[in-house]
Amino acid sequence: METVRITIIGAGVVGLAIAAELSKKYDEIILIEKHEKFGQETSSRNSEVIHSGIYYPTDSLKAKLCVEGRPLLYKYCEKNSIPCLKTGKLIVASDEFHIARLEELIEQGKQNGVADLRILGKDEIHKMEPEVNAVAALYSPDTGIVDSHSLMKNLFNEAGSSGVTFSFGSEIDQIDMDKEGYVIGIKDDDYKFRSKIVINSAGLSSDHIAGLAGIDVDTAGYRLKYCKGSYFSYAKRSPVNMLVYPVPHKDLSGLGVHATLDMGKRLRFGPDTEYVDSLDYTVDAKKRDVFYENAAEIIKGLDKGSFVPDMSGIRPKLQGPGEKTRDFVIADETAKGFPGLINLIGIESPGLTASLAIAKQSNILVKKCL
């Protein structure tokens, strides 16, 4: 039976970043993806925001890897001519009640190591963004946007040129541990191979993959909940030049319907938060009124008729509705009796921002396993 050194499962932005990072040092790496192309799920269905790292609990992986990953991502994009833009972001308080929450967020950001945050008054906001509706705002100058497809394409090319083998359209249905590693089987294919290391970066399917490898998913707390977020684009010219967010929910179940721009300066609102049981990406046009009402709270003079159903994405959350927010799982499973198995589960936002830092963290775990 053929044996490889490392198998990466999942060709989203995190899996591709891991492949590119590991290929600098290791050979015999294969990346397996069930879709015919890379980045077909969460990595291509999101706001494409480069986050600063202010929202997440201090010492959490989300905070640490976001703050570490942001400068890595900007530098990588600059080096490889990947479209990105440091737009800045306003988190707005639409009334006096929410100002205290802004102060909590700025303190959280400082504890996480995020520099240059400050609270703006109404006059400063008006000078920056005249159409923003706010009595105060937290200004994050280092927040930005990135062309996620260009980023993934570059990581894919980098990994491929360094010798990584890609197997697209290959759905794994067997992962059996033996004395020499893990025997991996592909659905509707008799071919099997062995891998010394298995890195599970399968996004929405990462709990399923962990279960195939032998992990008791429910006991481990790895069962994912699908959280759908829809977007509406704005057909008219954008009245803002930076990202505009409402004050987020305390439980961080979502960051609220916010205004983001793509690299073509197209304005988009979303995502909302809707837990679902299946992967349905349709956008309900009946949500237009709610999206308009939410957007009108933070931006003046919007035309409801110009809100157009755009797209949706599904986030792989470890917490269900009303539950306390959970951190990323990035785990070497040796202690559970699965040496050489590395699970990445619940990699939702800020996974895009943190992707290069997650790759470096995965590299550290691989070194321990080999």
For residue 281 the two structure tokens come to 């990406």
Q: Are 320 and 225 in contact (CB under 8 A)?
A: yes
Q: What is the pLDDT of residue 248?
A: 83
H helices of the chain, in order, are 13-22, 61-79, 99-111, 122-128, 148-161, 206-212, 217-220, 288-296, 351-369
CA distances 117 to 112, 161, 252, 273, Å, are 12, 40, 20, 27
Rounded to whole angstroms, the Cα distance separating 156 from 204 reads 20
pLDDT tens-digit profile of 199-208? 999 999 999 9
335 DSSP 8-state letter? G
Position 96 pLDDT exceeds 90: no
pTM of the model: 0.97
Q: Considering the chain, what percentage of its residues have pLDDT values greater than 70?
A: 98
Q: What is the pLDDT of residue 282?
A: 98
User: Whole-number mean pLDDT of the chain?
Assistant: 96
Q: What is the pLDDT of residue 251?
A: 57
Query: Which are the contacts of 175, defined by CB distance < 8 A and separation ≥ 6?
Result: 182, 183, 184, 185, 198, 209, 212, 213, 214
Residues of the chain with CATH 3.50.50.60: 3-45+149-223+325-369
Residues of the chain with CATH 3.30.9.10: 89-141+225-317
Q: What is the pLDDT of residue 94?
A: 86
Position 256 pLDDT exceeds 80: no
Position 255 pLDDT exceeds 80: no
Position 106 pLDDT exceeds 80: yes
Position 253 pLDDT exceeds 70: no
With bands split at pLDDT 50, 70 and 90, how would you rate the model's confidence at 100?
A: very high
Give me the CATH code for the 3-45+149-223+325-369 domain, please: 3.50.50.60
Q: What is the pLDDT of residue 97?
A: 86
Lowest mean pLDDT among 214-223, 230-239, 256-265: 256-265
Q: Considering the chain, what percentage of its residues have pLDDT values greater than 90?
A: 94
pLDDT tens-digit profile of 225-240? 999 999 999 999 999 9
Does CATH number 3.30.9.10 belong to domain 89-141+225-317? Answer: yes
